[in-house]
Chains A and B, each alone.
Chain A
Amino acid sequence: MAYSLKESVAKEARFVSGHRMCAGCGAPPAIRNVLNALKEEDNAVISCATGCLEVSSCIYPYTSWNKVSFIHTAFECAAATLSGAEKTYYNLKKAGKIKKTTKFIAIGGDGGTLDIGLQSLSGAMERGHDITYVCYDNGAYMNTGTQRSSSTPHFADTTTSPAGKVSPGKAQKRKDLTEIMVKHNIPYVAQTALFGNLQDIYTKSEKAIYTEGPTFLAVFSPCPRG
């Protein structure tokens, strides 16, 4: 379907206000725009890695996840958790226990995706689950206070790769996860950023969510604290 800004903003948001993310954080609008690509009649299960987004969007007894079901288990296993839910969907559907079409979306930051969650992500992608993994990448472990990740750019000054008298900052170059995902031979891999072009994130999200099989979407996103 051709993209229409007017139609997309008229849809009911699946990620709503009331969360406790920082003012100026890129993650909430990024995720709201990714989920905006869901068809209104479709259900979705969101599996979220531990991180800012999780601890700020689902503080008991509140949730910012609207008209989707949400699960958080731990830091490194958003993809594995989702793969269990996705496989179970087929049996419940076959048994007639559920009727709606459900889409499966995992979300992690760069720490939960490029580093500690890489094995879980790689495994889920290789097994061919019909899921979309969305990495909102702000280039460091921002939740714990701007420590370096493998997505942190070369020479960046972080709290665990500080620039000092003898070090210019992070000594290593950035890991290219998008390229690693391409090498998994999955049907769709994309990267985008939220700002300046809402059509781009919408169309890539739509393609990622509605392409059969495992798909990966990197969304570059700023952190006001890093």
Chain B
Amino acid sequence: MAIRERLSGNEAVATAMKQINPDTVAAYPITPSTEVPQYFSNFVANGDVKTEFIAVESEHSAMSACIGASAAGGRVMSATSSQGLAYMFEMLYVAAGLRLPITLICGNRALSAPLNIHNDHSDSMGVRDAGFIQLYCENNQEAYDNTIMAVKIAEKANLPVMVCYDGFITSHSVENIMLLETEEVQKFVGERKPTQYLLDDERNISMGPMDLQKYYFEHRKQLADAMRGAKTIIEEVSEEFYKLTGRKYELFENYKMDDADLGIVVLNSTAGTAKDAVDELRRNGIKAGLIKPRTFRPLPYKEIPEKLKNLKALAILDKCDSVNGYAAPLFTELTSAMYSSGLTVPTVDYIYGLGGVDVKVDDIIQIYKKLNEIAKTGNVEKTTYYLGMEN
């Protein structure tokens, strides 16, 4: 029986973690994800979970302890944001390189300097090549659902998974959500059955060796192949979740794209705002549509361009910047994917909402207006715009 609840994003994720009941959680507080380990510590203190909670002295040690715990054979989770994720950077690569199925919650937040505690995607985009699967969530329900699915995806793919949702906007907003019964979650995630682990009584192993050139290249290729293969695993786990809950998750959400002339690609909570803009435009006879990627890693590099091919103009929205004198990651990767698919839709990049600048329905409508102009001429005069700061 599903349970109707009203929870903040952080509460929803902490509740999912309680229901998953991992062996080990190691975390260090950082706004806006602090509440996740905080709520979870209460579950530990009250005996609601069997988990060993390690209150480490830094995020670097949080990910190190997660690696040690996962290598030891446990089911392991952590949570962080922003500077904390940046501080983990080195260890994220180690976690993925060792093929450890760690689930990391990321309450997305801007990176310093200047210091800012509010939402953008600089943190998770900054570690996009670490080898973590990245699942992006629009709202509290998706954060809860993806946290549960992440555990299973990670253990099937032997890859770590990052569950990303917008700091404050999602992490601290209270919404009505549907929870599963704990027994259902337990049954869904099952038991972790590692094939190679440090604490195995039967066999000792050595992990994290030095690889000379040839082996290193082979092992990195294996990691790349695992990420390619993860697409199918994500689809299978999502299908199983759909059968359990009726909530359908794909590699990306396609919102009114089938007959659209003007399209936007946007991650996380802004997709919710943008859907309202699409609805409003559609009421006025403008064929607007939207794509919300759920997985940025692996990148749906064939599947998304397939949905874009009938567009007259496209805007890709980035809540971070590459500071490369050109454009931001979602734009550069998707336009590259479009090129590989032989697709030449006029496309612009909108960098928006850095440091938590509010983005409203009207702001999104302005973007569609710009797309309408581009669609008329087919010309892109300028590639990258900073939303609200220039037109």
A155 interfacial contact with B, CB 8 Å: no
A58-B72 contact in complex given A74-B94, A92-B23, C-beta closer than 8 Å = no
A98-B67 contact in complex given A59-B209, A88-B74, C-beta closer than 8 Å = no
A90 to B67, CA, bound (A): 16
Pick the contact of B72: A55, A61, A88 (CB < 8 A).
Answer: A88
A80-B64 contact in complex given A85-B72, A88-B24, A91-B52, C-beta closer than 8 Å = yes
A88 and B201 contact, CB distance less than 8 A? no
B58 and A84 contact, CB distance less than 8 A? no
A90 to B24, CA, bound (A): 10
Pick the contact of B64: A59, A69, A81, A126 (CB < 8 A).
Answer: A81
A118 to B57, CA, bound (A): 11
A98 and B206 contact, CB distance less than 8 A? no
A74 to B64, CA, bound (A): 9
B328 interfacial contact with A, CB 8 Å: no
Instruction: List 28 A-B pairs, Cβ < 8 Å.
Output: A43-B199, A58-B206, A60-B211, A61-B215, A67-B204, A69-B205, A69-B206, A71-B68, A71-B71, A71-B208, A74-B64, A74-B90, A80-B62, A82-B68, A84-B69, A88-B23, A88-B24, A88-B69, A89-B199, A91-B52, A97-B73, A98-B73, A98-B199, A119-B58, A120-B57, A123-B56, A123-B57, A127-B56
Residue from B64, B69, B204, B219 with most neighbouring chain A CB atoms (10 Å):
B64
A60 to B76, CA, bound (A): 26
* A residues near B207, Cβ cutoff 8 Å: 69-72
B247 interfacial contact with A, CB 8 Å: no
B65 and A84 contact, CB distance less than 8 A? yes
A83 interfacial contact with B, CB 8 Å: yes
A74 to B71, CA, bound (A): 14
B315 interfacial contact with A, CB 8 Å: no
* Proximity string of chain B (17-55) to chain A, C-beta cutoff 8 Å, 1 when within and 0 when not: 000000110100000000000000000000000111011
For the residues of B in contact with A, the DSSP-based class is mixed
Pick the contact of B206: A63, A81, A87, A88 (CB < 8 A).
Answer: A63
A47 interfacial contact with B, CB 8 Å: yes
Total chain A interface residues with beta-carbon distance under 8 A: 48
B91 interfacial contact with A, CB 8 Å: yes
A195 to B274, CA, bound (A): 71
A105–chain B nearest beta-carbon distance, Å: 12
A91 to B54, CA, bound (A): 13
* B residues near A85, Cβ cutoff 8 Å: 68-69, 71-72, 198-199
B204 and A69 contact, CB distance less than 8 A? yes
* B residues near A94, Cβ cutoff 8 Å: 50
B131–chain A nearest beta-carbon distance, Å: 14
* Proximity string of chain A (177-198) to chain B, C-beta cutoff 8 Å, 1 when within and 0 when not: 0000000000000000000000
Pick the contact of A69: B56, B76, B198 (CB < 8 A).
Answer: B198
Pick the contact of A81: B51, B65, B90 (CB < 8 A).
Answer: B65
A102 interfacial contact with B, CB 8 Å: yes
6 tightest A-B contacts by CB? A84-B68, A123-B57, A84-B65, A84-B69, A80-B61, A88-B74
A86 to B199, CA, bound (A): 10
B104–chain A nearest beta-carbon distance, Å: 14
A91-B24 contact in complex given A119-B61, A122-B57, C-beta closer than 8 Å = yes
A65 interfacial contact with B, CB 8 Å: yes
A69-B69 contact in complex given A87-B52, A94-B50, C-beta closer than 8 Å = no
A58-B209 contact in complex given A69-B198, A84-B67, C-beta closer than 8 Å = yes
A54 interfacial contact with B, CB 8 Å: yes
A60 and B199 contact, CB distance less than 8 A? no
B10–chain A nearest beta-carbon distance, Å: 23
A100 interfacial contact with B, CB 8 Å: yes
A92-B67 contact in complex given A71-B208, A84-B24, C-beta closer than 8 Å = no
A59 and B212 contact, CB distance less than 8 A? yes
A34 interfacial contact with B, CB 8 Å: no
Closest B residue to A124 by beta carbon equals B61
A182–chain B nearest beta-carbon distance, Å: 19
B23 and A120 contact, CB distance less than 8 A? no
B5 interfacial contact with A, CB 8 Å: no
A50–chain B nearest beta-carbon distance, Å: 9
Closest A residue to B52 by beta carbon equals A87
B27–chain A nearest beta-carbon distance, Å: 12
* Proximity string of chain B (77-94) to chain A, C-beta cutoff 8 Å, 1 when within and 0 when not: 000000000000011001
A45 interfacial contact with B, CB 8 Å: yes
B199 and A88 contact, CB distance less than 8 A? yes
Closest A residue to B25 by beta carbon equals A87
Closest B residue to A45 by beta carbon equals B198
A67 to B205, CA, bound (A): 9
A161 to B198, CA, bound (A): 40
A54 to B54, CA, bound (A): 26
* A residues near B58, Cβ cutoff 8 Å: 119-120, 123
Pick the contact of A70: B60, B91, B206 (CB < 8 A).
Answer: B206
Closest A residue to B207 by beta carbon equals A71
A97 to B50, CA, bound (A): 15
A76 interfacial contact with B, CB 8 Å: yes
Closest A residue to B198 by beta carbon equals A69
B195–chain A nearest beta-carbon distance, Å: 13
A158–chain B nearest beta-carbon distance, Å: 25
A91-B23 contact in complex given A126-B57, A127-B54, C-beta closer than 8 Å = yes
Given contacts A66-B204, A74-B94, 20 further A-B contacts (CB under 8 A): A45-B72, A45-B199, A58-B210, A61-B209, A73-B67, A77-B60, A80-B60, A81-B67, A81-B68, A84-B65, A84-B67, A85-B72, A86-B68, A88-B52, A88-B69, A92-B73, A99-B201, A119-B58, A120-B57, A120-B64
